[in-house]
Every structure is written in structure tokens, then in C-alpha cells.
Amino acid sequence: MAFSQKLEAWYTDHGRTLPWRGIDDPYRIWLSEIILQQTRIEQGRDYWFRFVEAFPTVTDLAAASEEQVLRLWQGLGYYSRARNLHCAARLIAGQGGRFPNTYEEILKLPGVGRYTAAAIASFAFRLPHPVIDGNVYRFISRLHGISTPIGTDAAYREFEALLLRLIDPQRPDRFNAALMDFGSLQCRPQPDCAACPFAGDCEALRSGRVGLLPVRAPKPKPTDRWFLYFDLRWQQDGDTYGLLQRRTANDIWRGLFELPLLESDHRLTESELQAEADRFLADSFGLRHVAYTVGPERLHQLSHRTIHARFLSAELPHAPAVCPPQLQALTVAEMEKTPVPRLIDKHLHRL
């Protein structure tokens, strides 16, 4: 039996039923692929439904504000995905709302890489472009005994050339869905090789290298960053107010809002922290001799950053007389509707 036939036979019995499968709407397929980058299906499914409900078409998404998009995205992380999604929607809307229908055109959209372009091209337009993600790398590297380090251009070209020979040109959408599910459900990091329909063909199983493949290129060590956030509150006209600022630099969380921040290049000792906090409160807000508490360090892990955050909390008798122009005074209810990083969201909910 040919590879594609055996794979699709397995898929008939074991494939997942997902709301974005079996449709040919490129917008909704694209939406699912962007959400599922760096996100588990169980979590991504809920966000997909929220986006489809809020923005049923690509022109609806294009018409939304960036703040609306980021707020709906909140909790998924990797916020550049949301900004690229919004930017691409506006580009498509500017071209009459027609979604690009070739692999090459799809690949030009902001935030779309080779995997995503292949997925959209095959699922929406039935074009024979194989999907290659981590699960596919694992399955194919084991099956063929390929030891080229994955995550490199050399590996992508090697795996793509192989899969182009194997893909079912009549049903590339079904082939790719089966390929993705097989790598995710069957050829797992700790697989059940006895139940695998490819056990008799698997080079890694024959040579005892199942646990050694795929070979991964070494990842760079995350960079440590130390954040001290200032959660300043006061009462005014029956409401509780606080301060938020928007991150505008080309850095993590760009476009999201956060509490006033003091960043240091090392972990501050308690005496250093108190001195720096007093200086920041005086220089930025004209506040001296303020009673405050500082919570314990909270770690927040990003792909290439480890954030060491502490939160300073203070109840002020009134709004600060001095306030940097980038800070906005918002009620607690308004803060809850503002797009913030997950780290800030967790802090606000703990309160």
C-alpha cells in the first residue's frame, strides 16, 4: 500500500474532528492556523470561536481597532501574531477582500511562514503543498531515519522534497490533515510503536533510534529581565483608579498596556529595590514618603525571555499631581477591558 493510502486509512479511523476542517473558507482556515501557532488545540479552539463570532469575515477583522484585536487575543501570548493577523486583514481588505489563492501570494502575508502558507493552500484551495511542523518532522525523520537537525533551512528543503513525492495530489487537504494528526497523536515523543501502521517501514524503530530522532539544533538560552511594576490606586468620584501605559517600543508585548515600569539590568537587593522605588516615585510622580508594599518575585517565561517581575502596590490619597504623559488614568472597570500581557492580567485578577 502506498504511503498516502496507508496514512489516510489511519486518518479515517483516528483523525480529529475540528471546526476548521472540512471547510474551504480561507479566512477561517488562516485564522485557525495563526491561533494554533505556539498554542495547543484545546486552548486555541475557544479563541477561534471568539474571533469568528466577533469578526465573521476578513473585512470585519480589518475594520476592528488594534486594541479590540489585542484584547480578544489576550491570554494567547506571542502578540506579534495578533498584530500581523490584523495587518494582513487590512491588506486583504484593501484588495477588495479577496483572499490570495496561491501558495506564493499567501506566503507574502505578514506573519505567514511556509507551514501556514502550505496549510491554507492545501485546505482552502486543494494545492499540493505539504505541511511541515514539529510533529511532521518527528514522524518523517523517524520513518526515514533522517538525522539532519530540524529547524534549519537545509532540513526544511530535505523534508519538503521528500513529502512532495509522497503527497496525494488529488487530496492534499486530507493528506496534510492526516500527516499532522499522525505526528501529533501516534508518532508522539513517547510513541506506541506496536500500534503504528508504519512499524514495519520505520528506519528509527529498526535501528533503535526512536528516542534519538528528530535531531534538534540547540536553542539559545533565554535572556533574564527584571521588572518592577508600580500599581498605584486612588479613589475619585466613587471609582477606583489606576495607571496604565502602552508599550510602543519594538520589544515584547508591543501594543499592549502595562503598569508603570522600572526595569533594571540585575536582580535588586531589598535595599536597592527600596531606593530605586523611592527615586522612581519621586521623579515620575512627585510622590515622597509613600507607604507601599512589594510582592514576591513572579517568573513569567517567554520563548526567549525570562521575566522576573515584582509588583509594588500603593493606595494614594488622591491622583498623582505629576504624571508622565504616556500614562493613562483608568477606572478598574476600564483596566479590565484593556489589552494587557498575561503577567499583568494575572496580577490584576489576584487583586
Residues with catalytic annotation? 33
Closest to 285 measured CA to CA, from 345, 231, 347: 231
CA-to-CA distance for 288 and 282, rounded, in angstroms? Answer: 6
CA-to-CA distance for 122 and 25, rounded, in angstroms? Answer: 12
Amino acid, single-letter form, for residue 41: I
CA-to-CA distance for 195 and 26, rounded, in angstroms? Answer: 35
Which residue reads 493577523 in cell numbers?
Answer: 85
End-to-end CA distance of the chain: 61
Contacts of 134 (CB under 8 A, 6+ apart): 150, 183
Which string of b and e fits 34-58 if b means at least 16 CB within 10 Å?
bbbbebeeeebbebbeebbeebeeb
Closest to 27 measured CA to CA, from 147, 155, 120, 157: 120
Closest to 298 measured CA to CA, from 290, 308, 306: 308
Sign of the torsion formed by the C-alpha atoms of 130, 136, 137 and 140 = negative
CA-to-CA distance for 149 and 234, rounded, in angstroms? Answer: 55
Which residue reads 506496536 in cell numbers?
Answer: 194
